[in-house]
């Protein structure tokens, strides 16, 4: 985006949506969320210890349980705290949320928690196993929970913002437990942070990095730029290269030498055009398999095979068969990528190879239908 004087906009002029879009060149939000699940979980344990919970279940640290809860199609928290109240156990959900503007009240809702307890026996067992032996048979009382979030200007402003008020279920101040986070301790171990510091240096903004809001902004930019540079010459049919902390500064400095005068705005402008084209072709590649056999198509095959109750909705079928569908799609995605690499070795560009594969969409569709029928028939008969 150019301003009237033909100079690229600076990061200070980017809104949060643009910052996050740039960050997605390197999947910044995913990596921040994963880091907060690790760092934040331990901080949460320390903060709630004074309330003396009788049990603490870290759902986000249990991959199998988290997957089971996600398969219900319901929102679920990252942790559940248990407190003894008289002769009952109060259960309170907690969710680790780095940015409150993407928080959903249903993740900490008592009715949602009660529904999950009713649907998932292994969830109940995991909580019960952590309770004191003499309290394991006490009745449970699900209660509304809270979000555990870094104390930042953006998060504090969001709670009282018009955007929050417009939500179906606005986040209340009492539903957030803020935690002070040292920006350097949090970001320093993460690939992309070295590039973030280089960008801040270009902007003369290094003094702002101790402040979490500034550090968060530059990490999104740094991770995005580092991710784009790591894959600049790669094919969309290859596995995406992760950011290499040992080489990211070298790649950045080499790229900066090719533009002038160097600035964060110009770096992002140059990479932006390249990444828009790359992301568009990546979307087309991902969609190729899924448009050849949509979940609606797959659900029809489940019904035709008599493997779902009469009148079951697509969402109900997804709960039981979603994982099977994803495994089929993952397998065919690998096959399509292999076909694309073969076309690349014969001299085709990514776009040319993708066009050839698109022309074969009907063939993929027929093969996928046949594969889906065979998989459905051979899958265990206790699915509903």
> What would the pLDDT profile of 43-84 be if each residue is shown by its tens digit?
999 999 999 999 999 999 999 999 889 888 788 999 999 999
Instruction: Examine residue 243 and state whether it is found in any structural domain, yes or no.
Output: yes
Q: Same domain for 222 and 194?
A: yes
Q: Same domain for 191 and 75?
A: no
Q: Same domain for 328 and 369?
A: yes
Q: Same domain for 259 and 172?
A: no
Give the pair of three-digit tokens for residue 2. 């150019």
Domain termination residue (choose one: 146, 181, 216): 181
* CA-atom Rg of the chain in angstroms: 24
Average pLDDT (209-229) is 97
Q: Same domain for 149 and 210?
A: no
Nearest to 148 by CA among 177, 119, 180, 125: 177
pLDDT of residue 380: 65
Tell me: the pLDDT tens digits for 241-251? 999 999 999 99
Domain termination residue (choose one: 147, 163, 181): 181
Instruction: Say if CB 95 and CB 145 are below 8 A apart.
Output: yes
- Position 6 confidence tier, pLDDT thresholds 50, 70, 90: low
Instruction: Say if CB 195 and CB 223 are below 8 A apart.
Output: yes
pLDDT of residue 71: 80
- In Å, how far are 274, 283, 351, 356 from 343, measured between CA atoms? 22, 19, 11, 9
Instruction: Examine residue 75 and state whether it is found in any structural domain, yes or no.
Output: yes
Domain termination residue (choose one: 151, 181, 211): 181
Percent of the chain whose predicted confidence (pLDDT) is above 70: 96
- What angle in degrees, to the nearest 10, is found between the helix axes of 295-304 and 361-378? 40
Separation CA 73–CA 319 (nearest Å): 7
pLDDT of residue 2: 44
Instruction: Examine residue 384 and state whether it is found in any structural domain, yes or no.
Output: no
Instruction: Examine residue 317 and state whether it is found in any structural domain, yes or no.
Output: yes
Q: Same domain for 192 and 227?
A: yes
- By residue range, what is the domain housing residue 138? 52-181
pTM for this model (two decimals) = 0.87
Give the pair of three-digit tokens for residue 180. 């002070």
Instruction: Examine residue 359 and state whether it is found in any structural domain, yes or no.
Output: yes
- Position 14 confidence tier, pLDDT thresholds 50, 70, 90: confident
Tell me: the pLDDT tens digits for 154-208? 999 999 999 999 999 999 999 999 999 999 999 999 999 999 999 999 999 999 9
* Residue 3 confidence (pLDDT) above 50: no
| CA end-to-end distance (rounded Å), the chain | 52
Instruction: Examine residue 285 and state whether it is found in any structural domain, yes or no.
Output: no
Residues in CB range of 317: below 8 A, 6 or more apart: 299, 302, 303, 308
Q: Same domain for 62 and 167?
A: yes
Q: Same domain for 150 and 174?
A: yes
Q: Same domain for 176 and 57?
A: yes
pLDDT of residue 126: 97
Q: Same domain for 308 and 257?
A: no
Instruction: Examine residue 18 and state whether it is found in any structural domain, yes or no.
Output: no
Residues in CB range of 225: below 8 A, 6 or more apart: 22, 25, 26, 195, 199, 252, 267, 268, 271
Number of compact structural domains in the chain: 3
Residue 324: phi and psi, rounded to 5, are: -65, -45
Q: Same domain for 72 and 126?
A: yes
Instruction: Examine residue 20 and state whether it is found in any structural domain, yes or no.
Output: no
Give the pair of three-digit tokens for residue 353. 């190879």
pLDDT of residue 7: 61
Which string of DSSP letters, residue by residue, matches 103-117? --GGGG-HHHHHHHH
Q: Same domain for 127 and 196?
A: no
Other beta carbons within 10 Å of 192: 29
Q: Is residue 110 exposed (0-12), middle (13-18) or buried (19+ Cβ within 10 Å)? A: middle
Buried b (16+ CB within 10 A) or exposed e, 201-219: ebbebeebbeebebbbbbb
């Amino acid at each position: 985006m150019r301003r009237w004087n033909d100079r690229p906009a600076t990061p200070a002029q980017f809104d949060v949506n643009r910052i996050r879009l740039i960050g997605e060149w390197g999947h910044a939000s995913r990596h921040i969320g994963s880091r907060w699940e690790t760092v934040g979980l331990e901080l949460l344990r320390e903060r709630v210890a004074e309330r003396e919970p009788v049990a603490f279940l870290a759902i986000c640290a249990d991959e199998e349980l988290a997957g089971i809860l996600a398969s219900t199609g319901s929102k679920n928290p990252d942790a559940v705290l248990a407190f003894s109240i008289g002769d009952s156990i109060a259960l309170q959900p907690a969710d680790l949320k780095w940015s409150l503007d993407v928080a959903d009240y249903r993740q900490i809702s008592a009715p949602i928690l009660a529904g999950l307890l009713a649907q998932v026996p292994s969830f109940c067992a995991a909580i019960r196993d952590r309770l004191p032996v003499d309290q394991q048979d006490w009745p449970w009382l699900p209660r509304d929970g809270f979000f555990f979030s870094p104390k930042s200007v953006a998060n504090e402003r969001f709670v009282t913002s018009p955007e929050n008020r417009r939500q179906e279920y606005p986040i209340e101040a009492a539903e957030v437990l803020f935690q002070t986070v040292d920006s350097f301790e949090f970001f320093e171990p993460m690939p992309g942070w070295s590039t973030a510091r280089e960008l801040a240096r270009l902007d003369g903004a290094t003094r702002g990095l101790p402040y979490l809001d500034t550090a968060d902004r530059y990490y999104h930019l740094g991770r995005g730029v580092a991710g784009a540079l790591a894959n600049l010459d790669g094919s969309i049919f290859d596995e995406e290269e992760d950011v290499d902390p040992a080489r990211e500064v070298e790649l950045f400095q080499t790229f900066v030498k090719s533009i002038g005068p160097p600035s964060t705005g110009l770096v992002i402008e140059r990479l932006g055009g390249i990444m828009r084209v790359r992301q568009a072709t990546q979307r087309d590649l991902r969609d190729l398999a899924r448009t050849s056999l949509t979940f609606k198509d797959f659900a029809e095959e489940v019904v035709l095979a008599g493997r779902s109750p009469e009148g079951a909705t697509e969402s109900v079928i997804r709960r039981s068969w979603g994982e099977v569908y994803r495994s089929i799609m993952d397998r065919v995605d690998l096959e399509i990528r292999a076909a694309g690499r073969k076309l690349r070795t014969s001299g085709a560009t990514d776009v040319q190879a993708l066009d050839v594969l698109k022309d074969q969409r009907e063939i993929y569709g027929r093969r996928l239908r046949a594969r889906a029928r065979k998989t459905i028939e051979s899958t265990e008969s206790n699915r509903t």
